[in-house]
Amino acid sequence: MTSIERLDDLLQRVGSYALWQIAIELLLIWIVVYAVVRFIQGTRAARALKGMLVLIALSTLLVQVLGDDAFQRLGYLYERLLAIIAVALVVIFQPELRRGLVRLGETRLFRGGDMPGSSAAKAIAPACVYCAKSRFGAIIVIERTTGLRTLVEGGTLLDAHLSRELLQTIFYPGSALHDLAVVVKGSVVHAAGVQLPMADASDMPDARFGSRHRAALGLSKESDALVVVVSEETGDVRLAEYGTMTTPIALDLLEVEIAKRLGGASIAEDGPGDEDDTPVGFDRSVTAADATINEERGD
């Protein structure tokens, strides 16, 4: 069968379908494509997918034009190529597929109740406010349903009761564990001095971000954990979640924001932005030079 005959056969089959069937099928296809595009938008996978689609489109056009009886071997090789491409897609988009499965597990259909650690906002937010006002860098990982055991094995196990004072002590400059991350599990500080996977510099929303923010974003891409990161240079507090990072969050709203993202509804009456949290003689002004040296300080 020649290419013209195949095209004529396709048009005849399309003409035999009811219009409402075609409309429903096109709508379902559009929904799936839109969901995939939204899911990978802004990731490195988006660039890889564009290249893959161009390659498949050109290959399909070439095979359909030349794939008549005289080029049976070409059609045979193309069918085998499609199988290889299917395997390659799984390998290339493995991080995105894993993140998608994690998000699926986060839906209420599969969730047994509130996320573990929802009450932790009352201890974490004031500690982060103290670090922000004192310009102490900090990174706190709040574990949800995805286990972080492999990461914790490289840190220092604490299994201590979560408290504002403990977190402030850990991140105080000069302490042995202040440089790396703290992992919170429920109402327990599970480990400190934990090394997190780093996101690529090209994935960062701001080129001035350093190792702390790259670590926060990197872990959020590989798990469902909520990561709170405090900038040592600017005192800004951001949250990383599901491969994205927020803009700086107002200190007086930090506790509310953390509790909301963890599924908690109870907020302490005393907000985290009290006057006694501010060190004596502390100046909240941020100079332009502070924002340009993040990478040098590892922030």
Burial of 220 (0-12, 13-18, 19+ CB in 10 A): buried
Checking 178-183 for CB contacts under 8 A at 24+ apart, the result is 178/136, 178/137, 178/138, 179/137, 179/298, 180/139, 180/155, 181/139, 181/140, 181/141, 181/155, 181/215, 181/219, 181/227, 182/138, 182/139, 182/140, 182/141, 183/141, 183/143, 183/148, 183/151, 183/152, 183/155
Q: How far apart are CA 182 and CA 168, in angstroms?
A: 11
pLDDT at 172: 92
Reference 203, options 182, 228, 179, 221; nearest CA is 221
**Number of DSSP helices (H) and strands (E) in the chain, helices first:** 11, 7
Number of residues that this document lists for the chain: 299
pLDDT at 36: 72
Query: In sequence order, which ranges of 16-43 are alpha helices (DSSP H)?
Result: 19-40
Q: What is the DSSP letter of 200?
A: P
pLDDT at 152: 85
Q: What strands, in cross-sheet order, belong to the sheet with 188-194?
A: 156-161, 188-194, 181-185, 138-142, 226-230, 237-241, 244-245
Q: What is the pLDDT along the chain (299 residues), one digit of tens a residue?
A: 555 666 677 677 767 777 888 788 889 988 887 877 776 665 556 666 777 777 777 777 776 666 555 566 777 777 777 788 778 777 777 766 766 666 565 555 555 444 444 577 889 999 999 999 999 999 999 988 877 888 888 889 999 999 999 999 999 998 888 888 999 988 889 999 998 988 887 778 777 888 889 999 888 888 888 999 999 888 999 999 888 889 999 999 998 899 888 875 444 334 444 434 433 333 333 333 343 334 444 55
Q: How far apart are CA 272 and CA 270, in angstroms?
A: 7
Residue 79, amino acid: E
Q: How many CB atoms lie within 10 A of CB 297?
A: 14
pLDDT at 142: 92
Domains of the chain in start order, with CATH, are: 3-105 (no CATH), 118-297 (3.40.1700.10)
* Block residue for tokens 């699926």: 104
Q: How far apart are CA 223 and CA 99, in angstroms?
A: 7
Dihedral-angle region of residue 200 (phi above 0 means left; psi in -120 to 50 means alpha; beta otherwise): beta
Query: Which pTM does this prediction carry?
Result: 0.59
E strands present in 198-265: 226-230, 237-241, 244-245
pLDDT at 290: 41
Q: How far apart are CA 82 and CA 234, in angstroms?
A: 50
Q: How far apart are CA 76 and CA 71, in angstroms?
A: 9
